[in-house]
């Protein structure tokens, strides 16, 4: 199965990257070469996907085989910027050259009608291709494109750290499908405007996306007759939901969870998709029901090795009333998930204070504790690394206004790599 990388180019000649006749490329711009990466971003992405394994050099890519066909679309210039038309030309080149999986660690601006028409045409033609894109590094809930196009051919990837905690910079919204490692990722890079080769440790959803794209290409190579829809379903259904989110099937932080190559391949090998998204309930059953005019707030705490040190208070900041609390000394079992729930009037703003009497939080010196506050099974706030205390807020007083759709710019927005 051929994969394609749309980015700043490819550091051909890097000792840890494939360099053979299976690597092709395309540059839509008037200057530069697809096989020269003057920025380094595209080469970092390429290393995560395809760095050669077993050569006693550097890093190992997800596919780790030098014989995986790669097509490079230099949709971004050596300065790290590009245009919507340039990125679209690179997308076309990927498809025309037979790529099944296309990684796009770039984003910004608003949606493009030209890109939307291109994706719709591929859908109508039944083209088996999957575009895997970085969700964005703004840290908020805004949409970034191409990740947020509402297309069955596009997957939006969030970033998590090594403890499967969503990275603070990772954008979260209802288009996020899945998550991948995106914090402290070491990979191949170019230096000296592409003339030299090295390694660097970077972070961003740009680093998470090629993990997912690499897994997609890997499992598809084992089952080349599968459709893009089946590959996407296997990725989503086999993803591992981080423990702090409980039994929810999907959320805006990490989508269906963190990508897992073995789970996805096992699912395709067995051809058993029972209970996958679309057939499974969209939310987990709750221990009790609230009335139609109430919201269900659930507080989940995983203790570290010293549970008695942890306490918390949830306050309605509109009325100033404490709606739930657990004093320090209440929890008595370490490394255990505790859950409390309360029904509250719809809407409202809340402040969550968590304390640790020793002053080292609940992660990660003496365990991997966490806290997570959910409203109607959707994560609102969470964390675990703090000192003596930490306060986070969510909601607002009064009715919640509808969230406006992202505006369509009068001209196509420039595309830039997700910041690292």
**190 close to 196: Cβ distance less than 8 angstroms:** yes
Say whether 148 is catalytic: no
What DSSP state is assigned to residue 74? Answer: -
Helix ranges, 244-369 (H): 261-270
Number of CB atoms found within 10 A of residue 266's CB: 14
Bridge partners, 417 (sequence order): 106
**335 close to 304: Cβ distance less than 8 angstroms:** yes
- For residue 215, give the nearest of 345, 50, 385 by alpha carbon: 50
Cis link prior to 34 (omega < 30° from 0)?
no
- Return the residue matching tokens 């014989």: 67
Q: Which of 16, 37, 41, 253 is catalytic?
A: 41
Dihedral sign, Cα of residue 199, residue 201, residue 205, residue 210:
positive
What DSSP state is assigned to residue 193? Answer: G
Say whether 14 is catalytic: no
Name 420's Cβ contacts closer than 8 Å, sequence gap at least 6: 41, 44, 137, 202, 203, 204, 206, 207
**102 close to 131: Cβ distance less than 8 angstroms:** yes
Q: How far apart are CA 197 and CA 228, in angstroms?
A: 34
Bridge partners, 275 (sequence order): none
Q: Which of 112, 170, 206, 209 is catalytic?
A: 206
Helix then strand count (H, E) for the chain reads 6, 19
Residue count of the chain, please give it.
420
Q: How far apart are CA 355 and CA 398, in angstroms?
A: 29
Angle between helices 228-238 and 261-270 (to 10 degrees): 120
Supply 291's token pair.
Answer: 């009335």
The two beta strands, 106-107 and 416-417, are: antiparallel
Q: Which residues are catalytic?
A: 7, 41, 206
């Amino acid at each position: 199965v051929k994969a394609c990388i749309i980015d700043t180019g490819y550091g051909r000649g890097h000792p840890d990257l494939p360099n053979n006749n299976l690597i092709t490329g395309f540059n839509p711009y008037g200057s530069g070469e697809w096989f020269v990466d003057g920025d380094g971003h595209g080469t970092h992405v390429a290393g995560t996907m395809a760095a050669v394994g077993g050569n006693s050099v550097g890093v190992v890519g997800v596919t780790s085989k030098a014989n995986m066909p790669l097509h490079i679309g230099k949709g971004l210039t050596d300065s790290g910027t590009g245009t919507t038309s340039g990125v679209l030309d690179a997308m076309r080149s990927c498809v025309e050259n037979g790529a099944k999986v296309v990684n796009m660690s770039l984003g910004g601006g608003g949606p493009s009608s030209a890109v939307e028409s291109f994706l719709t045409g591929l859908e109508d033609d039944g083209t088996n291709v999957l575009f895997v894109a970085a969700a964005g590094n703004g840290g908020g809930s805004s949409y970034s494109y191409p990740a947020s196009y509402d297309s069955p051919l596009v997957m939006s990837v969030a970033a998590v750290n090594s403890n499967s905690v969503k990275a603070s910079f990772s954008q979260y919204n209802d288009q996020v499908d899945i998550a991948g490692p995106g914090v402290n990722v070491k990979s191949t890079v170019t230096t000296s405007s592409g003339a030299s080769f090295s390694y660097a440790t970077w972070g961003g959803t740009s680093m998470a996306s090629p993990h997912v794209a690499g897994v997609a290409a890997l499992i598809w190579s084992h089952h080349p007759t599968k459709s893009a829809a089946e590959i996407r379903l296997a990725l989503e259904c086999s993803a591992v939901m981080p423990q702090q989110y409980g039994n929810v099937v999907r959320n805006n932080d990490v989508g269906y969870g963190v990508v897992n190559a073995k789970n996805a391949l096992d699912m395709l090998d067995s051809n058993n998709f029972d209970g996958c998204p679309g057939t499974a309930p969209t939310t987990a059953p709750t221990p009790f029901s609230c009335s139609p005019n109430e919201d269900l707030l659930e507080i989940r705490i995983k203790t570290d090795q010293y549970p008695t040190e942890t306490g918390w208070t949830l306050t309605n900041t509109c009325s100033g009333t404490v709606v739930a609390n657990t004093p320090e000394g209440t929890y008595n079992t370490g490394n255990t998930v505790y859950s409390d729930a309360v029904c509250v009037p719809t809407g409202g703003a809340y402040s969550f204070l968590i304390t640790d009497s020793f002053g080292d939080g609940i992660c990660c010196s003496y365990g991997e504790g966490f806290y997570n506050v959910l409203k109607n099974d959707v994560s609102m706030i969470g964390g675990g690394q703090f000192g003596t205390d930490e306060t986070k807020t969510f909601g607002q007083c009064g009715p919640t206004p509808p969230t406006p759709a992202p505006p369509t710019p009068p001209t196509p927005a420039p595309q830039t790599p997700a910041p690292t």
